[in-house]
Structure 1
Amino acid sequence: MKKFRAIFLLNSILLGFLTGVTAGAYLILVNFLIDLIWKKIPVVFHISTILYPLIICSIGGLIIGFLQRKNGNYPKTMAQVLGEYKTTGKIKYTNEVRKNFFHAIPVLAFGGSIGPEASLSGILGGMINWVGDRMKMSLERREELVDMGIGAILSTVFYAPFAGIGRAFDKPTRDFIVKGRKIFVYTVTTISGVIGFFLVNKLFPHESSFGIHFRDNINWTWQGFALIPLAIIVGAMFGKLFNFLGQLSNRITENNRKTVLWAIIGGLIIGIAGVISPYFLFSGEIQLLSFSKEAVSQSAWFLIFIGLGKAFITNFCFSLGWRGGMIFPAIFSSAAIGFALSAILPFTPAILVSATIAASLTYIMRQPGVVAGLLLLLLPIEIFPIIIVVCYLTNYLLKSLSKH
């Protein structure tokens, strides 16, 4: 038994490292293609029209549409990857890895308002299933490895080392020995993933500026603390709206078979939105820092427009074939709503924005530990105690309301 546990721990370490290396290489490729399509091509061909996003996103929609018609709905989401393991016991990795990879690349490169974590989890799930077949792993062990791998993806892609560990805290068990073992293994897996990720980035450095900017010194006020309950309500309501938009868009498009046409329509929506504001393009990772600097001087109406628009585009275009991860856009749009609240009630913006994001993401993801881990390095460290309280309080309130 001890030998088996040691082998499983070693596999977890290797899995984490491989996940970090894969995520790092994948993001380098995506960033290269984004730079090529959106920066280098316009310069080389002297393209200066403001309609460039509309042109590029329409081309992307055509490519995505043909891929969707040929292969179906890819890439798979994190929930789908884990759900498939639970229901079927395996993933057909022979074609799954290839489909997840090639479907996600054009969506990310052509400006889709989604993140890379979904496609990475699909690629990772296929790889683990391939290894599991050769090592004759049980379904439970494979599922645990996939879950740890997803934690490592969250930690590396979002530059949030504690996000992967947060998944262990969210596991529903009251056995402290089992939870302690999970936390230890998840921690080791996450650390090895972060090491692999940063080694790749050290060899092939690329720009990364994921974060939210506030004024250098936080002006603490009693009103800011008193308004935390309001920020939780606003954040939870926005999280509910974000999920509702996803459900609504799925209902509208669930019976469609014109995948090429729908994907082109999705490209047109993203392109038109990109002409209106560049903040509607891409996942929001790179734009978040510059947006937060600009947000402090913007009106509440503008910020609400950006937040609602980002949520709408992300969810509807996902249903139209522009599939991918929702976490980056959810963070960006929630931040816009948080800044809108602080524009209306200018009392310690760092508290109001952070509490709004934490409550919104907790509603969307239902994983308070993961959300807290994601936001630890994204927001000022002084706010982190508030973030933890907001995440777990929101989750408690949601569970309590669901029972009535």
Structure 2
Amino acid sequence: MLSTLIFCLLGGLILGSLRAKWGNYPQTAHYTIDHLKKHQTVDYKPVFKNLLVALTILIFGAGVGPEAALLSSIVMLSIWQADKIRYLFFNQEVFSALNPFERVTHMLHPTKYLVMYNPTIAPTDKNFVSTKKAMNLFFVINGLVSFTLLMKLTKQPSFISKMGDSMWHLNDLWLFIPLIILGLLSGELYNLFKNKMSQWLNFWPNNPIKKALLGSITIFIVGTFLPNLLFSGQVALGSVPKKYVHFSVLILLFIVIVKLIFLQICLNTGWIGGDIFPIVFAAIIQGFAISKLFPSFDVIFIVATVATSMAVTILNSPIGVAIFMALFFPVQISPIIAATALLLKFTKEYIQKKTARE
């Protein structure tokens, strides 16, 4: 136990020192993508700082997902690659005149031979625009194929775990609206708690080492007593359908609360990462807890409805959450997931319009 504590404190010292030296890293995907939308480019020079700090956070077991910081770095590197391609486009004759060795050095040089996006010089020819769209589609397909091949070749386990089979019937629909309301209330309660946590932990703004050490102590406590809640929770999610039957409603709710508290402490003490996987993990556990209150109804129907409702309320992305959540459940439950997400989406839009008119 002492060695674990020392390891966690070492992680806090390293993380706090890096943030004290470099600033507020890692950048999240939300920040990077918002900056890209506003300015059509991002600063990719700190990409390796971003990756190093993100790697430190993941190594030491913070209760966050890897997706936010890693996606931010991918966006940075993608913009760097786009600037390289733009350099090729506008300097074709000069580049063609180079010998093979010079071409390679030009393309691999990290800071030179780049052309940033400039709307005033961007080609507007229809044929070019259509070709650009086709190339973008090719890049997307190429990325998906490459990812799949690498996963297969390196024999990596799937990051998606199925929650079990469903045999839901029309009688289960009697619970549909009540389950959505339960998920909605759970999500709203978390949003209130999230705002409070950001206020409570809004201290030591100029001392990132102290804040990181506070997060380290939390990681140590969780790792000692509930190690399955370390990281995003994604690794432990696959065993949930088999193990949840051995736990009571109160224990399952306790796990949800601890996971979400752990997530907020990490995010507010410098252990920054993604919140999608942790929230989905907590929402699914919440669904299994609620299912124990209705033993005569289909378990997966209840879990999917509650989890989707709670995750949509927290993440505020109905379509994205529905698509992501559907990966964890059998195909026959997909209409329920879609209906839950769309109902919440249209209800929120209706309330917003009504409020605006008043």
1:221, CA displacement in angstroms?
4.8
Q: Secondary structure of 2:278's partner?
A: helix
Structure-1 residue corresponding to 2:32 = 81
CA distance in 2, matches of 1:230, 1:248: 27
CA distance in 2, matches of 1:187, 1:129: 16
CA distance in 2, matches of 1:314, 1:358: 19
Q: Secondary structure of 2:157's partner?
A: coil
Q: Secondary structure of 1:335's partner?
A: helix
Summarize deviations over 1:215-241 as a string: whole Å, max 9, x none. x5x343555321121221122222223
Structure-2 residue corresponding to 1:114 = 64
Residues 139-154 of structure 1 aligned to structure 2 (within 5 Å): none
Report the residue type matching 2:188 in the other structure.
Answer: K
1:139, CA displacement in angstroms?
6.9
Summarize deviations over 1:354-375 as a string: whole Å, max 9, x none. 0111112212222222112212
1:86, CA displacement in angstroms?
3.5
Structure-2 residue corresponding to 1:154 = none
CA distance in 2, matches of 1:245, 1:139: 43
Structure-2 residue corresponding to 1:28 = none
Q: Unpaired segments of 5 or more residues in structure 2?
A: 87-115, 123-131
Structure-1 residue corresponding to 2:306 = 356
Report the residue type matching 1:302 in the other structure.
Answer: I
Q: Which moved more, 1:371-380 or 1:124-133?
A: 124-133
CA distance in 2, matches of 1:228, 1:398: 18
Structure-1 residue corresponding to 2:174 = 226
1:251 aligned onto 2:199: yes
Report the residue type matching 1:248 in the other structure.
Answer: K
TM-score by length of 1: 0.71
Q: Unpaired segments of 5 or more residues in structure 1?
A: 1-48, 143-180
CA distance in 2, matches of 1:188, 1:390: 33
Any conservation in 1 of the 2:215–2:271 contact (CA below 8 Å)? Answer: yes
Summarize deviations over 1:332-387 as a string: whole Å, max 9, x none. 00011111110112221101100111112212222222112212221111100111
Structure-1 residue corresponding to 2:125 = none
Structure-1 residue corresponding to 2:217 = 268
Q: Secondary structure of 1:321's partner?
A: coil
Report the residue type matching 2:213 in the other structure.
Answer: I
Say if 1:74 and 1:227 are closer, same or farther in 2 by CA, change over 3 A.
same
1:282 aligned onto 2:234: no
1:128, CA displacement in angstroms?
2.8
Any conservation in 2 of the 1:307–1:335 contact (CA below 8 Å)? Answer: no
Any conservation in 2 of the 1:53–1:272 contact (CA below 8 Å)? Answer: no
Structure-1 residue corresponding to 2:98 = none
1:272, CA displacement in angstroms?
0.4
Q: Secondary structure of 1:120's partner?
A: helix
1:66, CA displacement in angstroms?
1.1
Any conservation in 2 of the 1:310–1:333 contact (CA below 8 Å)? Answer: yes
Whichever of the two has the greater Rg, that structure is 2
Say if 1:294 and 1:368 are closer, same or farther in 2 by CA, change over 3 A.
same
Q: Secondary structure of 1:286's partner?
A: helix
1:65 aligned onto 2:16: yes
CA distance in 2, matches of 1:233, 1:362: 12
Report the residue type matching 1:197 in the other structure.
Answer: F
Residues 292-307 of structure 1 aligned to structure 2 (within 5 Å): 292-307=241-256
Any conservation in 1 of the 2:183–2:307 contact (CA below 8 Å)? Answer: yes
1:106, CA displacement in angstroms?
1.4
Q: Which moved more, 1:196-205 or 1:239-248?
A: 239-248
1:386 aligned onto 2:326: no
Q: Secondary structure of 2:280's partner?
A: helix
CA distance in 2, matches of 1:291, 1:67: 36
Structure-2 residue corresponding to 1:338 = 287
Q: Secondary structure of 1:282's partner?
A: coil
Among candidates 173, 178, 184, match of residue 236 of structure 1: 184
CA distance in 2, matches of 1:209, 1:105: 18
Identical columns (%): 31
Say if 1:273 and 1:240 are closer, same or farther in 2 by CA, change over 3 A.
same
CA distance in 1, matches of 2:9, 2:179: 38
1:205 aligned onto 2:169: no
